[in-house]
Amino acid sequence: MMKKFFKYTGIFFIAILTLFLILFAAYYFNRAIPIWKAESKAGSSPEILRVDGLEFRDLNKNGLLDPYEDYRLPVEERVENLLSQMTLEEKAGLFYHTFIFPGKDGELAGAMNPFNIQPVQDGLFNKHMHFYNLYNTPPGVEAARWLNRIQKLAEQTRLGIPVTFSSDPRHTAMEEGAAVGVHTVGFSHWTEPIGFAAIADTAFIRKFGEIAAREYRAIGIHSALHPMVDLATEPRWGRISGTFGEDAGLSAALGAAYIRGFQGDSLTSSSVATMTKHFPGGGPQKDGWDAHFWYGKDQAYPGNNFDYHLSPFIAAIEANTAQMMPYYGVPVGQTSEDVAFAFNREILTDLLRDELNYDGIVCTDWGVINSMTLFGFEVMKHRGFGVDHLTAKERTLKAIHAGVDQFGGEATPHHIVELVRSGELSEERVDESVHRLLRQKFQLGLFDNPFVDIDEAEESLATEEALSLGYESQLRSQVLLSNREIDGDALLPLPVDKLSLYLEGLNPEAAKKFAFIVDNPQDADVIILNLQPPHDPGYGTIMGIEIFREGRLYYTEDELKPVMDLIRSKPTIITTYLERPAILTEIVEEAGAVLVNFGTTDEAIFDILFGRFNPQGKLPFDMPSNWESVLNQYEDVPFDLEDPLFRFGFGLSY
């Protein structure tokens, strides 16, 4: 009887709590984000003005052709004219560049605002924000229609300033498990950036940039929050798969070609502006812990090797990268003040602006100013960065004085308005950044036509050439580490239609055209195991969601034992996604063959294993032979592992 009482009491309590949360959410969202008020501020769409036989968009709806609306004039003249018409609030809004999520079925984003996500209506009309980072998108042309709707809404703001849409990498071939980037339906699919380092072909990566830019612009994306030209000198760091490896010269060459592919020789209406990151090098994280998290805020330079990490960014500047992103990390001992790059005037002004003569946009990494909130409650405190003693408004001021033009992942323009009105920040300094931000919009052609043609989008996405080259990148980037002889012959390539296979971690449908698939390893001629990368679970997470794999590079005894048991039972091939330089010593010593990849489909793996393509990729970093050597190496020094298992540039062929 008592058990039943507690059971139904518990159910009743949960029901009441759920109802309370629903009512609270409805109250909070209607109170916190008055979308009706935002929509009430919307004006009319611009009329078309006809002057000298030409057509112009009357963006400010005054019936006159203003200089900023006249595409015949130089960009600088158009920028200055628009700047002169802007209010302080409108200028402040351009400093903010945050996430946007689509509503259901491609509708405009709704009112819910977890994780500081900014509803576009509120951002455009209440906060005057015209830069948005796409997190997820509908597939293909559905995304184009959605982004066109937002541009149509932006036309109705007072001055008709178009929206710049940005994105992290979207061309990964991996539908799940990619350490960086998003698998986007409707795009061509390629290896991860580290895979391009394994290919080491500047012409090929530039071609990728051209294709990726065409697909971005086809759906309405104008800004790439990449490339990462950080150096993978610290093997434990969880973001290595987004880099071009350990060698500064190779990273500089690939990064520059990547930028030229996306942008062309100069920014035009067909370019995608690149945001090179993370200036001046985010690779040397202390003990490999990432600076997204409070425990990884420090960058370490025990080898006094700061300039080595800077060199790929110099190449990026020479390639005219349009934007630069400083990292979260604190460069301990490298400047007079131990504060993160985003707040460090010696880094952003003395070095980047004055010494390197960079005049592009400087945008912070996401969320350096405010704590993270969920439903209005603080769920992640501000992570420090050496400025945790300052208020959010004081951090804003310090970053702007350091040289920042824009704040990623933030939506608090009232801070800038208050700083100017209080006399702590000059409007002239605000104008300096706004000038850069507007200039890029004009260079990208957004003021003249921010919309995409849906029919052209369908023709531009995932063309036969793009699909073919994307798959080629998956093949060319794989690295064959070992290929033992069995009965006098190398195990690989496997013969077609002659073997029974037992698979773990790979799609059997992709292998059926080559061999017979069995359910029991004892019935197989060959075993193929695809291993997940080793890491310390529980690290690299935000609210329990794992975003980077960090910590150990070795497999534990419990993880390794079933693998080694299979290896010792039958000829066994090991494949794995090498997102970091994993310790594979025991596996390499006993497995029949080891093939590693840097982001690929299962189909591309089987095409290598069965000889349809001869492996040709080369390692883009040294691979450690033991954990002690990892603990003894310096975070900022390349190629300093003791007795590495494989050296940079290693790779076998058939």
Q: What are phi and psi of 166, to 5 degrees?
A: -120, 165
Encode pLDDT of 38-93 as tens digits. 444 556 788 999 999 999 999 999 999 999 999 999 999 999 999 999 999 999 99
Lowest mean pLDDT among 4-8, 29-33, 109-113, 429-433: 29-33
pLDDT for 548 beyond 90: no
End-to-end CA distance of the chain: give it in Å, rounded. Answer: 73
Packing angle of the helix pair 306-318, 248-263 (nearest 10 deg): 30
Assigned token pair, 56: 């112009």
Encode pLDDT of 605-625 as tens digits. 999 999 999 999 999 999 999
- CA–CA separation, 372 and 388 (whole Å): 14
pLDDT for 14 beyond 70: no
Reported as a pLDDT band with limits 50, 70 and 90, residue 119 is confident
Q: Is 16 exposed, middle or buried (0-12, 13-18, 19+ CB in 10 A)?
A: exposed
> Which residue among 66, 247, 298, 365 is the active-site one?
365
What DSSP assignment string belongs to 541-597? EETTEE-S--S--S--HHHHHHHHHHHTTS-EEEEEE-SS----HHHHHHSSEEEEE
Query: How is residue 292 annotated by DSSP?
Result: T
pLDDT for 16 beyond 60: no
The rounded mean pLDDT for the chain is 90
CATH fold of the domain at 475-632: Rossmann fold (3.40.50)
Mean pLDDT, rounded, for 475-482? 98
70 is catalytic: no
Q: Is the backbone peptide bond immediately before 533 cis, with ω within 30 degrees of 0?
A: no
CATH fold of the domain at 94-460: TIM Barrel (3.20.20)
pTM: 0.92
Encode pLDDT of 228-241 as tens digits. 999 999 999 999 99
- CA–CA separation, 156 and 60 (whole Å): 9
Encode pLDDT of 250-260 as tens digits. 999 999 999 99
Encode pLDDT of 290-307 as tens digits. 998 888 999 999 999 999
- CA–CA separation, 318 and 607 (whole Å): 39
Reported as a pLDDT band with limits 50, 70 and 90, residue 2 is very low
Domain ranges of the chain: 2-32, 94-460, 475-632
Encode pLDDT of 550-588 as tens digits. 999 999 999 999 999 999 999 999 999 999 999 999 999
